[in-house]
Amino acid sequence: MLLGSLVAAAALVGGLAWLSGHTSISSERSLMLYCAAGSQKAVEPAIKQYRQEYGVAVEVQYGGSGTLLSSLKASGAGDLYLGADQTYIQLAQSQGLLAEVLPLARMMPVIVVRRDNTSIATLEDLLKPGLRVAMGNPEAASIGRTVRQALEPSGQWEPLRRHVQDHGVFKPTVSDIANDVAIGAIDAGIVWDSTVGQYEQLKAVHVPILEAAVQEMSIAVLKSSRQPTAALTFMRYLGARDRGLKHFKAAGFSPVDGDAWAVRPVLKFFCGAVNLRAVDSVVKAFETREGVKIETLYNGCGMLTGTMQTMGPASANFPDVYMACDRYYLDNVRDWFQEDVDISDADIVIAVPKGNTSIKSLADLARPGVRLAVGQPEQCTIGALTRTLLQKEGMEEAVMKNVVVQAPSSAMLVPAVTTKSVDAAIAYRTDTIAEGGRIDLVRIDSPHAKAVQPLSISRSSANKHLARRFFNAITAARENFEAAGFNFRYKEKDAKPQAATAPKE
């Protein structure tokens, strides 16, 4: 009887899980979101759906982006901030308030009037005597700040500001402006194009100078969040093309090309073996904070690019992110990846057993009787770069005749030196650091004795935004790279817009 009850209970739980079709999300308490008022009609149904699917509540404070920013600074609490445009996101970042940022939609300012109004077609029409105009307060609302920035260079802001001051009103949110126009309290206003679509009685009047002021709406996790993993999960849900972004599109926004939704998405990372010591801890920390899985494959880059060429970019196993041992191998698969940045470089050195003073230069490797280990040029970057180095220095034939070991990675060359199976090996300095007590290094005086490690996101990735945040985590790991013996090259100005943010039809 008891067994029967347990089986029935298990079947019920399993059935409910099957019916819901979702993995559970852990959250100790509800999330707190500071949200630009103009996005309310998209965010509210998304929050409702999120709670229905996963049982996680999201409390929301709506308001003007500037007002919300002041509130969250004063409280020092909360989990997420949705700013109406990039200027407020950048302002919050400059004040050290934000961690991860995810774009959601694009929008532009337009003049808004009632559908039966045919008297307003230009910006100058807003200055007609007696016309009542509503504007967003530039100190509190994103729309007001954006319009001021768009009109000030042409000298059109000050006449409009005076007209609104004398014959209209400044409002704290874009919704307040639209409401006033809809009920006829005001003749016209300037709002986001996405706002107009939320009111049947309103229409938009597009003017070129405002159309050029396109803004991107984004959501960010606050550094003050005490449950960042839960906040990141909801952020991904809101920015998923098959979840939250559907509500943005229904509310009249132009959503970005978001990632596909998954409670615990999987990111595939192909990484040249030389980078393991620098990035492995970054991978683990990123998985924990984001609540995602990164399937990492460390190997010689000849093996990695060969695997890519065999499977092709349409394969579900094709990497989302690739960090090569050297630019040489990224260039071999260039067409399948977006623009890249150089993260670091590693010196190529001659490793000899501790106390060996007979080898002091590349030329000494050509002496009769020297036993040398090098990388296999078809399988790994150190092998390909060694071949290039010797060719450029005119020593390939003389040195290669002394090769007794060819290994598929730089790390596998080092044991041959520590066990004195060879007299020397050409390897990355980064792979010798752990054996500093048993190995001496000989510097190679050549501009070709260096490997440069680039990082890029694949064009075919279904998780470009998640990949971009992982990309950011690697570029922020300068200390890891330097501790592993790399020279850190990346500078923030090198960053390129790798995550696709173009509106999706």
Q: pLDDT tens-digit profile of 49-104? A: 999 999 999 999 999 888 999 999 999 899 999 998 888 899 999 999 999 999 99
Residue 373 CB contacts under 8 Å (≥ 6 apart), including other chains: 403, 404, 405, 406, 407, 413, 416, 417, 421, 422, 424, 425, 426
pLDDT over 60 (residue 12): no
- CA dist 409 → 46, 315, 383 (Å): 49, 26, 8
265-275 pLDDT, tens digit per residue, is: 999 999 998 99
- Note the pLDDT tens digit of each residue in 156-209: 999 999 999 999 999 988 889 999 999 999 999 999 998 898 899 999 999 999
CA distances from 106 to 169, 249, 269, 405 (A): 26, 11, 30, 57
Distances (CA, A) of 501 to 57, 68, 241, 337: 28, 25, 12, 16
How many whole angstroms separate alpha carbon 373 and alpha carbon 382?
11
pLDDT at position 111 is 97
Chain segment 103-121, per-residue pLDDT in tens: 999 999 999 999 999 999 9
Residue 190 phi, psi dihedral angles, 5° rounding: -125, 125
Could you tell me the pLDDT band of residue 263, with boundaries at 50, 70 and 90? Answer: very high
The structure tokens 């010196």 sit at 347
Q: What is the predicted pLDDT for the residue at 494?
A: 61
> pTM (2 decimals)?
0.81
Helix axes 142-151, 174-182, angle to 10 degrees: 90
CA 200/CA 197 separation, integer angstroms: 7
Tell me 485's DSSP state: T
Can you read off the two tokens belonging to residue 440? 């001496």
Find all residues with CB under 8 Å of 53, minimum gap 6, and list them.
Answer: 20, 22
